[in-house]
Structure 1
Amino acid sequence: MTQLQPTVTPKLEQPKFGFNDYAERLNGRAAMIGFLLMVIIEYVTGKGVLSWLGLQ
């Protein structure tokens, strides 16, 4: 008796957690938004982010 193998590969959804393309893309976008906000804060207040936060 021979077993038949499936002929169609199932379309699996990419995981949303861990080291994968989705997570890396999301992390990169969050970093870009954070950097842009930091630059805007420095421009508007005239002080660096550390000074603005009271850490310097």
Structure 2
Amino acid sequence: MGDYEAVLGEVRRSDMMRGIWSSYVSASPYAEGVDFEEAVDSAIELARLSELDDLD
């Protein structure tokens, strides 16, 4: 597991980050309908695809 997974796991559990995401979605019509969990999952998948964990 790469460090990004641990960091994004912390993000997923953060109530503050959920609040920030909610504010972002309210202010950004193109993000409407994108769930916080979906956004975090996408970030994890992008990190995996770019092999960021191999850059240590």
TM-score relative to the length of structure 2: 0.33
TM-score relative to the length of structure 1: 0.33
Structure of higher RCO (CA pairs closer than 8 Å, 6+ residues apart): 2
Greater fraction helix: 2
Larger radius of gyration: 1
